[in-house]
Amino acid sequence: ARVMVARDPRPSGPMLETGVAAGVVGCGADAVLAGVLPTSGLATALRAGMADVGVMITASHNPAEDNGFKVLAVGGRKLTDEEATAFEKWLQDDAPFHRTPGLMQEEAEGAWHCYQTALDSVTPDPEVFRGRRIAVDLANGAAAPLRDWLVRRFPADFLFLGEGVGR
């Protein structure tokens, strides 16, 4: 199994990313590190086949000192209630240790490329937004790299929110 691990830019993110990745490789799976990426970017990378499942380290729109985990299933979809229950039970059980650990691989650039390609493929004619005022939530900084792309691509007046802790 390949588990993609992504995070938002909260101060605790790198520590939690290391812990999740260590747990993944200790169970014999491969950890694919996507770095700072919005949750939708992780889902897009999973749909593109970059990994089997994913763990997003984020507390969404909660204060920067909070943090948490979202687990994404095959194809980047949300876990069903049954899958979430089974996963929670698995977490409470003793994790299996494998004599042969999995591998750890950096894929931040590939994950962002995948996300950017998906965004490019669904964006309408930029002229649709000429003269419009658009509010964009930058997901507490995880989507901050999209700011420049939006400004270059669309002739609109943007109001950026949620720049948070930055990248």
Burial class (CB in 10 A: 0-12, 13-18, 19+), 92: exposed
pLDDT on residue 139: 76
Residue 29 in contact with residue 102, Cβ under 8 Å?
yes
Cα dist from 88 to 7, 78, 79, 104, whole Å: 20, 14, 11, 24
Question: Is-catalytic flag, 121?
Answer: no
pLDDT on residue 15: 96
Q: Model confidence at 166, in pLDDT bands (50, 70, 90)?
A: very low
Q: What is the mean pLDDT of residues 70-90?
A: 92
Q: What is the mean pLDDT of residues 55-82?
A: 90
Q: Quick one: what percent of the chain has pLDDT higher than 70?
A: 96
Q: Quick one: what percent of the chain has pLDDT higher than 90?
A: 58
Could you read off the pLDDT of 118-143 as tens digits, one per residue?
Answer: 888 888 888 989 999 999 988 777 88
- Check pLDDT > 50 for residue 167: no
Q: What is the pTM of this model?
A: 0.84
Q: Which residue in 12, 40, 60, 121 is the catalytic one?
A: 60
Q: Model confidence at 58, in pLDDT bands (50, 70, 90)?
A: very high
Nearest 10 degrees: CA dihedral of 34, 39, 44, 46?
A: 60
CA distance 33 to 38: 13
Q: What is the mean pLDDT of residues 66-85?
A: 93
CA 148 vs. chain centroid, Å, equals: 19
Residue 34 in contact with residue 3, Cβ under 8 Å?
no
- Check pLDDT > 70 for residue 95: no
DSSP element (H, E) containing 4: strand 2-7
Q: How many helices (H) and strands (E) does the chain have?
A: 5, 7
The whole-chain average pLDDT of the chain stands at: 89
